[in-house]
Amino acid sequence: MTWDLRFAHYQLAEPQNAVHQSLIHCVRLCFTGLGALERERRAAQRRVLARRKTPC
């Protein structure tokens, strides 16, 4: 978890086993196609890339 002013940012852990991997895959499939979540996911990906370029 990282903090940005008053917001906490969480990141999923890397899957440690096949069950964990399957659960993450299932959740990703279940939420694909929901407009608001897709926009939020794209925005989060942009923030991750920006943070990689300019770390805190």
- pLDDT tens sequence across 6-48: 778 777 788 899 999 999 889 888 888 888 888 888 898 898 8
Domain boundaries, the chain: 19-56
What pTM, to 2 d.p., does this model score? 0.47
The DSSP call for residue 17 is: S
Alpha helices in 1-56 (DSSP H): 18-30, 35-53
Q: For the stretch 23-36, what's the b/e string if a residue is b when 16 or more beta carbons lie within 10 angstroms of its beta carbon?
A: eeeeeeeeeeeeee
CA atoms of 56 and 48, how far apart (whole Å) = 11
pLDDT computed for residue 1 by the predictor:
65
